Amino acid sequence: MTGRDLIIKAFKLQEVDRIPWAPFVGVHGGKLIGVNAKDYLQSEDLIFNGVSKAIELYNPDGIPVAFDLQMEAEVLGCQLVWSENNPPAVVSHPLLDGKTLNELPIPDKNDGRIKLTLNAARRLRTAHPDVALYGLITGPFTLALHLLGTDIFMKMMENPGEMKQLLYFTTEVGKKMAGYYIEAGCDIIAVVDPMTSQIDPKSFETFVSPCAMDLFKHIRENGALSSFFVCGHAQQNIEAMFGCKPDNISIDENIPLDYVKEVALKKNISFGGNIKLTVVMLMGDKNDVQENALECMDLGGKKGFIIAPGCDMPMDTPIENVQAVTELVHDLYLQDVVRAMEKEQSKLDLLNMKDYGQANKVVVDVITLDSESCAPCQYMVEAVKRVTPHFEGIVEWREHAIKKLEAVTFMSSLMVKNIPTICIDGKIAFVSQIPPKHELIAAIQKRINEKLKLKIKSKKGELLVLGKNEQECQELISNVKRASAELGQQIEVKLITDVNQLATFGITETPAIILAEYKLKSKGTNPSVEIIKEWIKEI
């Protein structure tokens, strides 16, 4: 099944095996091919190359042709100010500057940047038949705002009749634009109307609903699917938006996904979105992204849900963050890993691992999801298993399958972030990649050498000489002193002649020698029971 099929299935609320993924690549496409937003949105070739690059890097099931809500406005006479790293901004409003509605033409497919964007759409269609293409049009309310400026809000109140005329016009523009995109091969027409987030449900129903309903009907009749993009804090209008009968609604982090899902499924309409744009996609790291995306996927489910960023991705969104979603969407193991880690991590009491790895033996910990069900984990464990016999008992290994809480605690305490990981004496040694045998042996050997050196350095002990009286032990004591002198080592010699003490050592024949070794195991900390057990095993 192609990605396009998957998206269409989700739109039609059919159960899917894998949740489809639609990265909303706008001017971010420019970043991918090293051009600025201004050049990008004004060139058919650059849009084609940028989106193609995004398809290559992100393996999406669906993708927009362009995310540019100023295209229609520009054709209708709004002045734009271009930016290097953002879509342009509308800075003048023709209806405010004296033009009348009658003077505004319905944009033609050859006008302004419409032409080059449609050409890019056609080429993308041919080059990527398996990816669902989204044609984005400016929603009627947002376009009206471009034309009239913020006066539109008061116009709604003070002159509803005129407001309705204006919206009738912008809806006609929308229908034309939808038709052009459908003709160019787009599968989905997304009506992007972020400014509706600023109005109340009653105003929405009075002014926006009739237009939107008309627009979605038009799209349906022309054989394409439709989506209503919110982008913004519009929870108050969600019910009304579903009432406009689009095939899909896409929301951002301002609206809780579980709420939208509930309304959507009740109304038999698909839904999507919700990876956090700024704090996660733009500013977070790979782990943040996967955690957030998985949360959305688990909430959204496999019926009628499309995972996507909340809105147009900021230009500088790190490529690896977007790829992190791709990886997650396609990798069930990874989903399990992220899920297991997420589950309890926040509530964990981390162990104090400062003194971990001070035992005589070298301890190799393999942190896995579960070596029985996760192939990479299995290989990692096997690699360790194969190597340990070489060390004839001085290396001990254990698997920590993080499906169990204590293993998650252990993993977090060692600051391990990836699965599978090998730690040697509590230090992260191999992450994700299964080490070749000789590398693993070398790493363990290195640790053994370190420990040996440390041991020689830190050796301290005492010799207890036991006897009935001092006289009996004199010769023995002088031998001991000579021996330690010859070895160049400081050693305490203690004479014990007390009968009761002799008895506690179980000594009947004298003279006798007991060697007591002292070794510093921790200082200034309170090692956990787990760690102390390791030491006790040495006795």
Partner 1 sequence: MEELFEKIAHCVEFGKINLASPYPPDMKGQVGADELTKQAIDAGAEPDDVLKKGLVVGMEKIGIKFRDNKVFVPQVLMSAKAMSTAMEHLKPFFESGAVKRKGVFVIGTVAGDLHDIGKNLVSMMVKGSGFEVVDLGTDVNSQKFIEAVKQHPGCFVGLSALLTTTMVNMEKIVTDIKTAIPGTKVLIGGAPVSEDFKEKIHADFYSRDPQGAVDFLKRSVA
Instruction: Give 87 or 135: the residue with its C-beta nearer to partner 1.
Output: 87
**Sequence-ordered alpha helix ranges (H) in 459-528:** 470-487, 499-504
With binding defined as CB under 8 A, does residue 97 bind partner 1? no
Encoding tokens for residue 147?
């034309």
Q: Are 495 and 481 in contact (CB under 8 A)?
A: no
Select 66 or 199, whichever has its Cβ closest to partner 1: 199
Distance CA 332, CA 119 (A): 37
CB of 316 to partner 1, least distance (A): 7
Q: Could you say which of 232, 272, 300, 435 contacts partner 1 (CB under 8 A)?
A: 232
CA–CA distance, 226 with 199 (Å, rounded to integer): 22
Alpha-carbon distance 211 to 163, whole Å? 12
Q: What is the DSSP string of 177-202?
A: HHHHHHHTT-SEEEEE-GGGGGS-HH
CB of 169 to partner 1, least distance (A): 20
Candidate segments 272-280, 469-477, 491-499, 515-523, binder of partner 1 by CB under 8 A: 272-280
Which residue of 12, 96, 127, 150 would you call a contact of partner 1, by CB under 8 A?
A: 150
Query: Cβ 196 to partner 1, closest distance in Å?
Result: 10
Rounded to a whole number of angstroms, the minimum distance from the CB of residue 156 to partner 1 is 5
Interface with partner 1 includes 81 (CB under 8 A)? yes
Residue with tokens 């105003």: 203
- For partner 1, the binding residue among 279, 394, 405, 454 (CB under 8 A) is 279
8 A C-beta contact, residue 289 and residue 329: no
Return the CA Rg of the chain: 35
- Residue 199 contacts partner 1 per CB under 8 A: yes
Q: What are phi and psi of 400, to 5 degrees?
A: -115, 100
96 binds partner 1 (CB under 8 A): no
* Residue 287 is a binding residue for partner 1 (CB under 8 A): no
Residue closer to partner 1 (CB basis): 238 or 422: 238
State the minimum distance, in angstroms, from the CB of residue 414 to partner 1. 27
Residue pair 333/370 in contact (Cβ under 8 Å)? The answer is no
Distance CA 421, CA 419 (A): 5
Kindly compute the dihedral angle of the four CA atoms of residues 495, 501, 503, 509, in this order, to the nearest 10 degrees.
10
- Name which of 277, 46, 238, 41 is nearest 136 in CA terms: 41
Report the nearest approach of partner 1 to the CB of residue 519 (Å). 46
Q: Is 65 in the site for partner 1 (CB under 8 A)?
A: no
Q: Which is nearer to partner 1, 159 or 525 (CB)?
A: 159
Q: Binding mask 316-335 vs partner 1 (x if CB under 8 A, - otherwise)?
A: x-------------------
Of 427, 317, 279, which is closest to residue 326 (Cα–Cα)?
317
Instruction: Give the nearer residue to partner 1 in terms of CB position, either 14 or 159.
Output: 159
Rounded CA gap, 528 and 356, in Å? 9
- Contact between residue 142 and residue 192 where contact means Cβ atoms under 8 Å apart: yes
Q: In the stretch 469-508, what mask flags binding to partner 1 with x, by CB under 8 A?
A: ----------------------------------------
Q: In what order do the strands lie in the sheet with 270-275?
A: 62-64, 132-138, 188-192, 225-229, 248-251, 270-275, 305-309
277 binds partner 1 (CB under 8 A): yes
Answer whether 450's CB lies under 8 Å from 439's CB: no
Of 116 and 313, which has the nearer Cβ to partner 1? 313
Q: Which is nearer to partner 1, 281 or 384 (CB)?
A: 281
- Number of CB atoms found within 10 A of residue 533's CB: 11
**DSSP 3-state of 360:** coil
Q: How far is the CB of 51 from partner 1 (least distance, A)?
A: 20
36, 83, 378, 484: which one contacts partner 1 (CB under 8 A)? 83
By the rule CB under 8 A, 278 interacts with partner 1: yes
Of 42-50, 310-318, 354-362, 512-520: span binding partner 1 (CB under 8 A) = 310-318
CB of 374 to partner 1, least distance (A): 34
Q: How far is the CB of 42 from partner 1 (least distance, A)?
A: 19
| Under rule CB under 8 A, residue 157 binds partner 1 | yes
Pick between residue 1 and residue 89 the one whose CB is nearest to partner 1.
89
Stretch that binds partner 1, among 81-89, 165-173, 176-184, 416-424 (CB under 8 A): 81-89
| Binding flag, residue 314, partner 1 (CB under 8 A) | yes
SS (H, E, C) 369-393: CCCCCCHHHHHHHHHHHHHHHHHCC
Check binding of 158 to partner 1 (CB under 8 A): yes
Closest contact distance (angstroms) between CB of 92 and partner 1 is: 11
Residue 85: CB minimum distance to partner 1, A: 5
Closer residue to partner 1 in complex, CB, 189/311: 311
Q: Does 91 bind partner 1 (CB under 8 A)?
A: yes
- Per the CB < 8 A criterion, the answer to whether 48 and 123 are in contact is yes
Cα separation, 490 vs 484, in Å, equals: 7
CB 276 within 8 A of CB 253: yes
**Which of residues 107 and 232 has its CB atom nearest to partner 1 in the complex?**
232
Phi-psi bin for 488: left (phi > 0), alpha (psi -120 to 50), beta? left
# chain residues binding partner 1, by CB under 8 A: 27
Q: Report the interface residues with partner 1, using CB under 8 A.
A: 81, 83, 85-86, 89, 91, 150, 153-154, 156-158, 198-200, 203, 232-233, 235-236, 277-279, 282, 314-316
